[in-house]
Amino acid sequence: MSQRAYLMLVALLAGAPVAQAQETTRTGLIDGRVRSGPTQQPIEGASIRVGGTDIAAVTGADGRFTLRVPVGVVRLEVRAIGFAPIVRSDVVVSVGKPTTVVIELQPRVVQLATVDVAPSYFEPTRESPVSTQRFTAEEIRRTPGVQEDVIRAVSVLPGVGVTTAGRNDLVVRGGAPFENLFVVDNIEVPNLNHFGTQGSTGGPVSLIPIEFVKDAALSAGGFGVRYGDRTSSVTTISLREGNRARRATTLNLSATGLGAIVEGPLPNDGSLLVSARRSYLDFVFNAVGFPFIPAYTDVTLKAVQRPSARDELSFLFVGARDRITFKNNDADDRFENSSVLGSSQDQYIAGATWKRLLHNGVLTTTLGRTWSRFDAAQRDSSNPPQQVFGAQSTEGETSLRTDLTLQLSARTELSAGLVAKYAGALDYDITLPGALRVDQNGVPRSLRVDTSFTAFRQAGYVQSSVQLTDRLRLTLGVRGDWYQFLRNEIRIAPRGALAWSVDDVNTFTLAGGQYYQAPQPIWLVGDPENRQTLQPLRADQVVAGWQRLLRPDLKLQVETYGKRYSDYPARAFRRRAVLQPSGFDDVTNDIPYGLEPLVAQGTGSVRGAEVLLQKRLSDVPVYGLISASYNRTRFRGLDGSTSIGSFDSPMVFNGLLGWRPNARWEFSGRVRAAAGLPTTPFLETGQRDFTRYNDGERLPPFFALDLRIDRRFVFRRSQLVTYIDVQNATARKNVSQIAWDARRRAPVPNESIGLLPSIGINWEF
C-alpha cells in the first residue's frame, strides 16, 4: 500500500486530517542525550530532527542536544553513522518544565552508503531478540483502563493475562505470578505493588508513579543470562531523571490518589526527582459503604550526580505504607469481612548505582536493599470478631551486583556479571488452625511458627553476541547460581538466541535455554521438612518467531513457544495439585501462602502461539495494537495424574486503538477478552474437592471495554492534562472466582462491580 493511499484510508476511517497539527505557538524545551545501547558511550554528531518540521539539532562530544519545539507530543528522528536509525515517538513537550530524553542507538554492521535506510519506530533489542516489547511512559499513561499503572499496562501484550481485572497478578505464558521478575533501575524487586501478596508478585496498585517512568520492557521468554531466579518473564522498568534546567512541579489527581512531584537541577550536572502520593480509596470505600477500608501512601526519590565525564552516580528510594481497616457495625458487615484476608504492610526499595564508562564499554555496580513487613489477619463473623489466621513477618534482602559490557569489535559484544544477595533476617510469626490446614485424609494439621533464618545466594554469568554475517547474529551465554540456604545447591543454566534478518523488514528468531528459580522464603516455613524437600524449580524453554515491518511504524510479529517444568513444588496435602498461588483473598478457601508440606516433584508443560500487530504513533495520527494468544498448560502432582494449570486460559485477546487528531485531544479504547480460568469444585462441607483439582466448570469468559478521552490545556507558564477513563464500559460483571457462601451453604460467584468511571488531572508548572 502506498503512503498516499495509507493516509487516505486512515483519514476516511477516523474522519480526521491526515497530519497531526500542532495547534499552539507556545514552545517547550527538550534536553536530550544520545548514546550507544551496548556501551552507554555518548554519540557525537548524531542528528535529531522533529518529525514534520525543520527543527533539528546535532549532538556534541558529550552526546547531548537541546531543542526548542512547539508544545504538545512530538516525534524525534535520530540518525548517527554506524548505528541503526530510529524514531522516538510520544515525546511530551510542556511549557511548564523541560523534557528529559535519553535515546539509545544500536550499532549497525551493514553500512549502505548509497541507500537512505528508513528509521524504525521499534527500537531493536540486542540482549533478548525474542518475546520482548517496550513501552514508553506516554504509551503507558494513555492506555485506557490501566489507571496509569506501569505493571497493568503490560497486560495488553501477547502471552500476558491477569488473574482478576482489579489486580496486577500477571500470568505470562501459563506461569504463576511468582515466576515473574521485576527490575527497577538495576534493582531486583520481590513485589512492586501496594498490598502485595507475600510470596508472589501481584497486588492492586504499582508502587512506581507513572511520572517517574522512562520506559518499561517485558520479556515473556527466552531472555538472556543477565537475569535469573525467575522462570517466566522479566519486566525492566527504567526511571527517568529530573530535568537539569530548572525547578518544576506537577500536581496529580489520578484514579486512585493524589500526588505531587518536584524536580530540578543539582550540582555536578545532576538532578533530583521527588514524588509523594496518598490514595483516596478510603474515602471512596467509605462513601460506597464497603466494610473494609484500604489506604496507602508512598514516597519516591531519584537523585543523579556526574562527578566526571565518565562517572555517573544515582540513588533511588521508594517507601510505602499500606493499611486496611474493617468496620464491623452489624452482622452483615462482620459476615462480609470474615471472607477477607486483611494485610497491612510497610516496605521500601533503596539503591545506589555507579556507572563507569570505559574505553569500549561500561561497568555498572548497584548496591540495593529491599524490605517488607507484613501483618496479615483474617477474623470470623462473631461479635466481636475472633482471629482465625494471623501472620506477622519481615523479609529484607541486601544485594550487590556488577555488570560489565564490552564492545570487543564491530561484530562482537561481551557481557559478564556477578550478583550476591543476603537476607539477614527472615522473621515469621504465624498461626494457622487445623480447620484451615487439612491434609489429604481430612485430618486437621495446625501450624504454629515463630522462627527466623538467613538466606545467602550468589550468581555469575557470561554472554557473547557475535554478528556471524551481515544478516545473522548469535548470542550464547551461561549462568551459574549458588543457593547456600538450599543445602548449597548449584545450578548451571546455558542459554542462546539466533536472529536472522532475511532483509530490512523480515527477521526470524530462535531462542532457548534453562531457567531456575528458588522457592519463596515463606514456603520454607510451611512445614519443618520443606527446607529439605524443596529445591530450585526448573523450566526449559524454546521460542521461535517471525517479525515483519509492514511500515516503519507498523509491525507484525508471530511467535510459538514451549516450556517444560520440573522440580516444581507439589502439595503433599493436595496430592493432585502443584503450588501456583495468586492473590489470597480468603484463607478459608485454601491453605494460604504455601504454608503446607511441599515436595519438589511436580512437573508441567506449556505450549502456545501468539500474534501481535502494533502501530506506533507517527505522521498518521492513529496508534494501537492487536494481540491474540493461545496456550495449553498442564501440570502433574504427587499422585501422578495430569491436571489443567491454574492459569490455563486457552485464548486471550487484546485490542487497543487510539486517535490523536491534534495536539489537544486524544481518544482511545481497549477491548479485553479471555477464556475463563479453571476451577476446583466444592464438597457439601464447603471444602474444595482437590481430588478434582481444576476439573470443575471454567469461569465465564472475561470481557471488558475500556474508553478514554484526554484533553490538554496550554497556558502561559503551565500545562494541564486531563482525562476521563471509563473501565468496563459495558458494565459486564466479570467473575473472578467461585467462593463458598457459608450462609447459603453453596458456591457463589465473586463478581466485579461493573462500570467504573474515573477522572485524572495533571498540572505541570
Task: Please tell me the predicted confidence (pLDDT) of residue 190.
Answer: 95
pLDDT digits (tens, 9 = 90+) for 391-404: 999 999 999 999 99
pLDDT digits (tens, 9 = 90+) for 71-86: 988 999 999 998 989 9
Which amino acid type is present at position 33? R
**What strand order describes the sheet that includes 72-79?**
56-58, 47-50, 72-79, 86-93
364 and 504 fall within a common domain: yes
For the record, the C-alpha cell of 239 comes out as: 526511571
CATH number where 34 lies:
2.60.40.1120
* Inside any domain, residue 312: yes
Res 1 pLDDT > 80: no
pLDDT digits (tens, 9 = 90+) for 525-560: 999 999 999 999 999 999 999 999 999 999 999 999
- Based on its alpha-carbon atoms, the radius of gyration of the chain, rounded to whole angstroms, reads 26
CATH number where 331 lies:
2.40.170.20
111 and 221 fall within a common domain: no
111 and 216 fall within a common domain: no
What mean pLDDT comes out for the span 247-272?
91
| Residue 3 banded pLDDT, cuts 50, 70, 90 | very low
Q: What is the mean pLDDT of the chain?
A: 90
With contact defined as beta carbons under 8 Å apart, do 736 and 165 qualify? yes
Domain boundary among the residues 58, 93, 119 is at 119
Report d(CA 249, CA 261) in Å as an integer.
6
With contact defined as beta carbons under 8 Å apart, do 221 and 563 qualify? yes
| Residue 17 banded pLDDT, cuts 50, 70, 90 | very low
* Inside any domain, residue 140: no
Task: Please tell me the predicted confidence (pLDDT) of residue 90.
Answer: 87
Task: From 582, 682, 626, select the one nearest 169 (Cα to Cα).
Answer: 582
284 and 422 fall within a common domain: yes
Domain boundary among the residues 69, 103, 119 is at 119
| Residue 292 banded pLDDT, cuts 50, 70, 90 | confident
Res 283 pLDDT > 70: yes
Between the alpha carbon of residue 296 and those of residues 224, 439, 748, the distances in Å are 36, 37, 30
| Residue 15 banded pLDDT, cuts 50, 70, 90 | very low
* Inside any domain, residue 200: no
Q: Cell numbers 499513561 label which residue?
A: 141
Report d(CA 735, CA 726) in Å as an integer.
19
Res 4 pLDDT > 60: no
Task: Please tell me the predicted confidence (pLDDT) of residue 12.
Answer: 32
Domain boundary among the residues 90, 119, 148 is at 119
Q: Cell numbers 547474529 label which residue?
A: 473
Q: Which residues pair with 56 in a beta bridge?
A: 49
Task: Please tell me the predicted confidence (pLDDT) of residue 739.
Answer: 87
* Inside any domain, residue 155: no
Task: Please tell me the predicted confidence (pLDDT) of residue 678.
Answer: 93
Helix, strand or coil, per DSSP, at residue 286: helix
Report d(CA 477, CA 255) in Å as an integer.
43
pLDDT digits (tens, 9 = 90+) for 304-360: 999 999 999 999 999 999 999 999 989 988 988 888 888 899 999 999 999 999 999
Q: Give the domain extent around 729.
A: 205-377+384-433+440-748
What mean pLDDT comes out for the span 191-217?
92
Please give the helix or strand (H or E) that residue 461 lies within, else none: strand 447-467
* Inside any domain, residue 112: yes
Most confident of 289-298, 575-584, 665-674: 665-674
555 and 666 fall within a common domain: yes
Per DSSP, helices labelled H in 320-460 are 331-337
107 and 244 fall within a common domain: no
688 and 550 fall within a common domain: yes
- Looking at per-residue confidence, does 254 or 127 come out higher? 254
Task: Please tell me the predicted confidence (pLDDT) of residue 584.
Answer: 60
Task: Please tell me the predicted confidence (pLDDT) of residue 114.
Answer: 44
Res 48 pLDDT > 90: yes
Task: Please tell me the predicted confidence (pLDDT) of residue 585.
Answer: 65
What mean pLDDT comes out for the span 727-733?
92
Written in H, E and C, the secondary structure of 85-100 is CEEEEEEEECCCCCEE
What mean pLDDT comes out for the span 250-271?
91
* Inside any domain, residue 184: no
With contact defined as beta carbons under 8 Å apart, do 548 and 128 qualify? no
462 and 583 fall within a common domain: yes
* Inside any domain, residue 706: yes
468 and 596 fall within a common domain: yes
106 and 248 fall within a common domain: no
Between the alpha carbon of residue 333 and those of residues 325, 330, 588, 594, 750, the distances in Å are 12, 5, 17, 29, 17
Res 498 pLDDT > 50: yes
Res 740 pLDDT > 90: no
With contact defined as beta carbons under 8 Å apart, do 310 and 363 qualify? no
103 and 215 fall within a common domain: no
602 and 480 fall within a common domain: yes
Flag the least confident range among 98-112, 293-307, 347-361, 640-654. 98-112
Q: Which residues pair with 76 in a beta bridge?
A: 50, 88
Per the structure, how many domains does the chain have?
Answer: 2
* Inside any domain, residue 628: yes
What mean pLDDT comes out for the span 430-444?
92
Task: Please tell me the predicted confidence (pLDDT) of residue 742.
Answer: 84
Task: Please tell me the predicted confidence (pLDDT) of residue 272.
Answer: 97
What mean pLDDT comes out for the span 246-255?
89
